Amino acid sequence: MHRISCNWIANAEKDLKWAERMLGEGDYDYSSFHCQQAAEKALKALLIALGRQPPKTHSIEHLLNLIEKEGISVREVWEAARLTDYAVEARYPDFEEPVTEKEAEKALHLAKAVLKWVRRG
């Protein structure tokens, strides 16, 4: 479909590796943060491939909406919009509800799905 920005995808893959590592170490907050980052960077790579300058946002929903405006159905990965919750709050010690193992596993599943979807183009 489109040539995906290698730098953005490479960084998304690094975040995904960190997410897996943090999950394995029981650091669910940082694992989920890296999942959000992986999805965000992958979606921004797709926007760049579509000739769009990605906005400075952590909102996965906003990025998906922009991609959809380009005529690409995002239904398959829409659930990843929930990763936005992990963009900032999960990294701070006063985060009201720490991320559970189950939530972190779901975040990893969503992030992997986004990267796979973007690569498939």
Note the pLDDT tens digit of each residue in 11-43. Answer: 999 999 999 999 999 999 999 999 999 999 999
Note the pLDDT tens digit of each residue in 45-60. Answer: 999 999 999 999 999 9
- Give the count of alpha carbons within 13 A of 52, CB side only: 19
Check residue 14 and give its pLDDT: 97
Dihedral sign from CA coordinates of 11, 2, 78, 101: negative
Are the C-beta atoms of 98 and 27 separated by less than 8 Å? Answer: no
pTM (predicted TM-score)? 0.92
Give the mean model confidence (pLDDT) for residues 60-73: 97
Check residue 45 and give its pLDDT: 95
- The average confidence (pLDDT) of the chain is 92
Give the mean model confidence (pLDDT) for residues 59-82: 97
What domains can be seen in the chain, in order of their start residue? 6-120 (1.20.120.330)
Alpha-carbon gap, residue 59 to 3, rounded angstroms: 23
Are the C-beta atoms of 40 and 62 separated by less than 8 Å? Answer: no
